[in-house]
Structure 1
């Protein structure tokens, strides 16, 4: 497949998108609600393992030498990213300008006045998937612009399933365990782990817990905002994860792995089914020797107890720090990074899911990522983790309860009862 050189494409996009705002390079500080000031800014994000973010920023910098963007990389783990962002905000530091936020952080950051409201009349959200736009809003106001989306997918080894006589991926938990037993009966599969989802005591565990609970018909908070985890549905979701480890379906080592550890395990060829985000697709298909499963896997909707499960809505949005300088430059940079052509180029390079709805029907993208139409449907149907102002406390409580149950420290019934009590004091008024 022939591609346009990325840096050249990005530079051209930057010129086209921001010709009206080249600025004079003056560095000024604006009041929280004002988008004024032009000059150097920073983009604060998790680690860029693809290298493509730097190429995108290079395109902007080539077109805006007086308004350069410098990337500040945060740790891999979302919990650590959030803590560093909060530390910067609570000190009212202007070191961070454009923030890459997990979609569930908007309410917390906006409620604490750590973000600058974005002007809806200057950012076109009409072309985006509606589910992604909601993640950037708080009380009807836009505080973050969706740049990429996510929904959990089931990665599965097509070569091993085929040898076991299985033509289709599982749609239920029981089908997944049955397929695993058949693969493990093969000489090629006796040392293969059956299933992995993030269950270490990180944000990934909150995602896995939410998908298990939601797939079983449960919720953490009901429609009125009150906790509702002490239910048979939530117990069924917790039991799925607990029994996966207890019965040897999921390796106990999963309790210490983060998302990148899980990715490496899948790419080593020692894992049959892996719940993971779309970003893994490009990395697992790399032909540079880093992946032993290149060309040997496919993706499908995650399974549930009675059919396809409820994927968790993930992704990242770009926001502007309330304490930043050069917010006019920051707004133009966000427009540049979230433009449809830019999102397509990034998806082709990294397999990240775009937020522009039309890109899921783009022939070039579908040729490379055949699962895109299914992913679009999954995103539209995906359920969010709890959207609450005290998100940090809520996710910590969920992680603690599920981790203790998975590790055998606390019986599931007691874990859910305790979690119900903790969440009662954290519900958003």
Structure 2
């Protein structure tokens, strides 16, 4: 979700060269000693599911002298990141355990804002490999996966069936054609076809990267160099820009964050929605209960690629009571507790076994689709100056979606901006 959200993934993936470009040398040092016990804080984006505090209450009951206070930051991931950076730069001890968007881990490790962790304390071998990789920097472990995330296509099963559409779409063209059939139904009057996250924030970077990757393009090449000014990338951005222009995506979706799209889908305003798995349990409590399902994201010529989302838990370098912090991370990231978050809030777990659990699949039929989404996902750029990269992507993508620039012009300008952002 956005708070995890926020949390897709691509050939934006950067190499070790980029990861060391602003090298602090932190990746070379061994794990620090984790000493001190007492109260700590857990810092994360706003909990829209209502499941975090009950988990903290369990910890606090068992650890009355080491209680955890929940500090909730804004829903917007960009605002979360900025507040965490401000805390780190002032070396404040107000924040102890940070819930980082997976793509921020390298940036925070490179600047020594978080500590290197002792790997043997955590069951990383039981977690999905792509998820664990997001928590590493220069060979060291700097965070522990608390959740993963992959984008899903939510769709109205009742309307597709009534319109004679037998299967969910695997391509953008099929999705558009299915929408046309559904919108001819009386009960679909006033509905729009599709929406994702298109406000100028991290969600836009995710949706842009997914579109580019799903059209066969990349944002950076295998060596971490920007490679976004290509015919393939243009096809991906053109799909989004054209969809806004022809009404496939409603004009109001230019303001959508995760929650806006979820609420629109639940209130019957959308046939299709791109969102994270957290929306599943909430939709099951709404008016579309029993009327929707999930599928892999569609692409240009077949199933698309999600961005790799999720959140990692890290220890702030300036915090106190780090022995308590380490134990708390182990508690929150345990298989039992991540299973609870899955069952209560549809939060994607990092553990591979949970996606193959027959009892869970019977209760949450989207799990096989989600596992496929995560394993096929492409990471966003794991670069030290991630803020500059995502800001450039948002700026140029937004210009194309609002008609301020053509897709071709926006991509040329983005190529220049990314070269500057990742310059050594």
Q: What TM-score, normalized to structure 1?
A: 0.91
Equivalent residue, structure 1, for 2:133: 134
Q: Distance in 1 between matches of 2:67 and 2:382?
A: 34
Shift of 1:364: 2.6
Is residue 53 from structure 1 mapped to residue 52 from structure 2 by the alignment? Answer: yes
Within-5 A mapping of 1:31-110: 33-110=32-109
On the 8 A contact 1:33/1:322 being kept in 2, the answer is: no
Specify the alignment match of 2:243 in structure 1: 244
Partner of 1:375: 370
Which structure has more relative contact order (CA 8 Å, sep 6+)? It is 2
C-alpha separation in 2, matches of 1:255 and 1:368: 34
Q: d(CA) in 1 for partners of 2:138 and 2:215?
A: 29
Distance 2:223 2:402 in 1: 32
Structure 1 residue 193 displacement after superposition? 0.6
In the alignment, which residue of structure 2 is the partner of 1:390? 385
Q: Which runs of 5+ in 1 are unaligned?
A: 1-30
Q: Offset at 1:246?
A: 0.6
Give, in angstroms, the shift of residue 363 of structure 1.
2.4
The 2-side partners of 1:92 and 1:334 are apart by 21
Distance, in Å, in 2 between the alignment partners of 1:267 and 1:285 is: 9
Aligned to 2:117: 118
Measure how far apart 1:75 and its partner are.
Answer: 0.3
Give the structure 2 partner of residue 334 of structure 1: 329
Deviations 1:45-78 (A, max 9, x none): 1111222111111111111000000100000010
More deviation in 66-75 or 181-190? 181-190
Residue 282 of structure 1: CA displacement?
0.2
Q: What CA deviation, in whole Å up to 9, does each residue of 1:103-162 have, x standing for no partner?
A: 100111111110010111222201000010000001111001001110000000001101
> SS of the residue aligned with 1:194?
strand
1:32 deviates by: 9.0
* Residue 404 of structure 2: aligned partner: 409
Distance 1:339 1:74 in 2: 24
In structure 2, the partner of 1:277 is: 276
**Residues in 2 aligned to 1:237 and 1:125: alpha-carbon distance in whole angstroms:** 35
Matched residue, 1:300: 295
CA contact (8 A) 2:196 2:256 kept: no
TM normalised by structure 2 equals: 0.92
Equivalent pair of 2:209/2:307 in contact (CA under 8 Å): yes
Q: Which residue of 1 aligns with 2:6?
A: none
How many residue pairs are counted as aligned between the two chains?
A: 395
- Label 1:428 to 1:59 Cα distance change in 2 as closer, same or farther (>3 A): farther
Runs of 4+ residues deviating >2 angstroms? 31-34
Q: Which runs of 5 or more structure 2 residues have no equivalent in the other structure?
A: 1-29
Match of 1:363 in 2: 358
Question: For residues 32 and 134 of structure 1, what CA distance do their matches in structure 2 show?
Answer: 18
Measured on the aligned residues, the alpha-carbon RMSD in Å equals 1.2
Structure possessing the higher radius of gyration over alpha carbons: 1
Q: Secondary structure at the match of 2:176?
A: helix
Name the structure 1 match of 2:222: 223
1:428 CA drift (Å): 6.2
